Amino acid sequence: MARSVNVTVTGAAGQIGYALLFRIASGQLLGQDTKVRLRLLEIPQAVKAAEGTAMELEDCAFPLLEGIDITDDAKTAFDGVNVALLVGARPRTKGMERGDLLEANGGIFKPQGEAINAGAADDVRVLVVGNPANTNALIAQQHAPDVPAERFTAMTRLDENRAYSQLANKLRVPVTEIKRLVIWGNHSATQYPDLSHAVVGDRPALELVDDQEWVENTFIPTVAKRGAAIIEARGASSAASAANAAINHIHDWVNGTAEGQWASMAVPSDGSYGVPEGLISSFPVVCKDGKYEIVQGLTVNEFSRAKIAATVAELEEERDAVRKLGLI
Ligand SMILES: NC(=O)c1ccc[n+]([C@@H]2O[C@H](COP(=O)([O-])OP(=O)(O)OC[C@H]3O[C@@H](n4cnc5c(N)ncnc54)[C@H](O)[C@@H]3O)[C@@H](O)[C@H]2O)c1
Ligand SMILES: O=C(O)C[C@H](O)C(=O)O
């Protein structure tokens, strides 16, 4: 018999929510052998819009969808949750400084962490999508002391997918030929998309690219600033591609990464590669039996070391800022 999983999506009435929910309900998140009960969390003003989305979900008659609950109460939303997708966040608006943004999001992710701590299922897995994703994940995690710390993750899979496509376009190869491309650090413009371990077929990607100038001045900035480029072009931030990456992240975590493949996930550091313990930073991971492990033993050259240090320094600044605000 198909097992049944509670999936909570916050910010369900937003644009990512709209791109995400139908894919979850159709079985793309957890597989065709898993039934899903959806819990949608929204702010009171957006509950009606979430109800509209729920009506559409119903109208799809998805065989795996067992039910939909909608609430504006975090405790209710996370009671018994197995998979928590924290998408809803406070966007930066005109005149808002970075500290204001961190403070506003602290007001969201602190109570959500507490609610996860109070009611989540023992096997809960949390993915934070709402920005600043790494630090929001840290805030939630710090308020859920009874949940194993490693269950709190943040999303850099969209950056990884973007990097795969940029490299595939450059080399004119299908994305399926590429493996082991890694995103390190923060989901921000300081992130480090790293080609130094990537292979295309059985050849090193850097050997095929053979153009360090392209790597440094085109590839890395294009991937790192892609979010801003999408906002500029669409007039709104990425939504379907972000939802797709969230599906990829959880699917790999639960069902395992493909043989020989890595995934980029922002996870609490265990001190690997000199990243201070506890920071939620992106690493290459391998997933198996429902768990992820940071890939160990990689050679990090001088260029990569400096890039990783820069993005990690930004994460430390964000952590220190939320500490100062009393959010962690
Ligand atoms: N990590 C990534 O790769 C990535 C990529 C794209 C977007 N994002 C981020 O994802 C977030 C959502 O993007 P979007 O385009 O869906 O935004 P959106 O504004 O369309 O939707 C956000 C929704 O969250 C809801 N919300 C706000 N506070 C809430 C709370 N306390 N509880 C529950 N819901 C709440 C809002 O009512 C809104 O419906 C943003 O922070 C965006 O920057 C991250
Ligand atoms: O919302 C943003 O600032 C951009 C988003 O995180 C993205 O990478 O598309």
Whether the CB-CB separation of 103 and 132 falls below 8 Å is answered with no
**Residues 215-235: what's their mean pLDDT?**
95
How much of the chain, in percent, has pLDDT values that exceed 70? Answer: 100
The helices-and-strands tally (H runs, E runs) of the chain is 12, 14
Determine the pLDDT at residue 175.
Answer: 98
Ligand 1 atom, smallest distance to 111 CA:
31
Does the predicted TM-score (pTM) go above 0.95?
yes
Q: Which of 14-18, 114-118, 200-204, 231-235 has the lowest mean pLDDT?
A: 231-235
Every domain range in the chain assigned CATH 3.40.50.720:
5-154
**Residues 233-255: what's their mean pLDDT?**
96
Provide the angle, in degrees to the nearest 10, between the axes of the packed helices 98-119 and 302-324: 80
Residue 259 has pLDDT above 90, yes or no: yes
Residue nearest to atom 2 of ligand 1 (CA): 129
May I ask the CATH class of domain 5-154?
A: alpha beta
Determine the pLDDT at residue 94.
Answer: 74
pLDDT, tens only, 311-323: 999 999 999 999 9
> Catalytic one among 143, 187, 197, 249?
187
Residue 123 has pLDDT above 80, yes or no: yes
Whether the CB-CB separation of 273 and 191 falls below 8 Å is answered with no
Residue 229 in tokens: 């480029």
Residue nearest to atom 17 of ligand 1 (CA): 14
Determine the pLDDT at residue 83.
Answer: 98
Q: How far is the CA of 237 from the centre of ligand 2 (A)?
A: 6
CATH level 2 (architecture), domain 156-319 = Alpha-Beta Complex (3.90)
Determine the pLDDT at residue 101.
Answer: 87
Residue 168 has pLDDT above 90, yes or no: yes
Please name the residues in contact with 65: beta carbons below 8 A apart, sequence gap of 6 or more: 25, 35, 36, 38, 57
Q: Is 187 considered catalytic here?
A: yes
**Residues 258-275: what's their mean pLDDT?**
97
Residue 1 has pLDDT above 60, yes or no: no
Distance between CA atoms of residues 310 and 59, nearest Å = 48
Which of 40, 43, 183 maximizes ligand 1 atoms within 8 Å of its Cβ, making it the mutation to test the pocket? 43
Determine the pLDDT at residue 84.
Answer: 99
Determine the pLDDT at residue 91.
Answer: 76
- Protein residues whose CB sits closer than 6 Å to any atom of ligand 1: 10-11, 13-17, 41-43, 46, 87-89, 91, 108, 129-131, 133, 155, 158, 187, 237-239, 242
pLDDT, tens only, 50-93: 999 999 999 999 999 999 999 999 999 999 999 999 999 987 77
Every domain range in the chain assigned CATH 3.90.110.10:
156-319
Determine the pLDDT at residue 48.
Answer: 98
**125: annotated binding-site residue?**
no
Q: Is 15 in the pocket of ligand 2 (CB under 6 A)?
A: no
Whether the CB-CB separation of 109 and 68 falls below 8 Å is answered with no
Whether the CB-CB separation of 241 and 226 falls below 8 Å is answered with no
Determine the pLDDT at residue 306.
Answer: 98
pLDDT, tens only, 8-63: 999 999 999 999 999 999 999 999 999 999 999 999 999 999 999 999 999 999 99
**Nearest CA among 121, 190, 185, 178 for reference residue 154:** 185
Residue 33 in tokens: 């052998």
